[in-house]
Amino acid sequence: MNKILKTFFKLIIYILFAAYLAYLFDLVFFRFRASITSIDEMLPLEHYLKHSANFRPFKTIMNYIDNIGNLPAYIIVTNILGNIAAFIPFGIFLPLALGFKGIGNAMLHSFLFSLFIETMQMLLRVGSFDVDDIILNTLGGLLGYGIYLLSSRYYSKLFRSDEATTLR
């Protein structure tokens, strides 16, 4: 691949990654626009932690499974599959835009980025901190990385230059 085409392709990848991150932050932090209040009007952290946070792994997921039939299906699908799907692009972009390779890196960076988002939700009192979201987001990042690995086999000439599997 010539240098101009490779540079153009890198630019497209970076633009797509930035657009994905902007969409993700909009989805997570601004979907509750009507409920965002000033710092003075925020719930006390203790109240938020007691009523809006889940630190017990699989509590929310098991609650959804236990309540199949009692909860509308769209709530279960949106929360479980939505958290997975939201991070699939992240797993794809990790090697393409950031140069992180390996399943361990995919898991670590998906986990850390999800933890950052959940922590910001807690500090800003937007949405709820849920350790299950971190688990599902990390799974989504791993699935995305798996998609990258499978597709890179078929498009290796597009994604690779000699031995590098990133666009750097």
**For residue 164, is it within any domain?**
no
**Domain count within the chain:** 1
CB atoms within 10 A of CB 15: 11
**For residue 168, is it within any domain?**
no
pLDDT at 163: 46
**For residue 95, is it within any domain?**
yes
Q: How buried is residue 88: exposed, middle or buried, by Cβ count under 10 Å (0-12/13-18/19+)?
A: buried
Count of residues for the chain?
168
pLDDT at 108: 98
Give the range of the structural domain holding residue 86, as residue numbers without chain letter: 3-159
**For residue 127, is it within any domain?**
yes
133-156 as b/e, with b when 16 or more CB fall inside 10 Å? bbbbbbbbbbbbbeebbeebeeee
**For residue 166, is it within any domain?**
no
**For residue 132, is it within any domain?**
yes
Give the list of residues 6+ apart from residue 78 with CB closer than 8 angstroms, or none: none
pLDDT at 34: 47
Q: Which residue has the tokens 């509308």?
A: 72
**For residue 99, is it within any domain?**
yes
pLDDT at 39: 58
Tens digit of pLDDT per residue, the chain (168 long)? 688 988 999 999 999 999 999 999 999 988 765 455 555 567 788 887 888 899 999 999 999 999 998 999 999 999 999 999 999 999 999 999 999 999 999 999 999 999 999 999 998 888 889 999 999 999 999 999 999 999 988 777 654 554 454 545
Give the list of residues 6+ apart from residue 64 with CB closer than 8 angstroms, or none: 71, 75, 76, 79, 80
**For residue 126, is it within any domain?**
yes
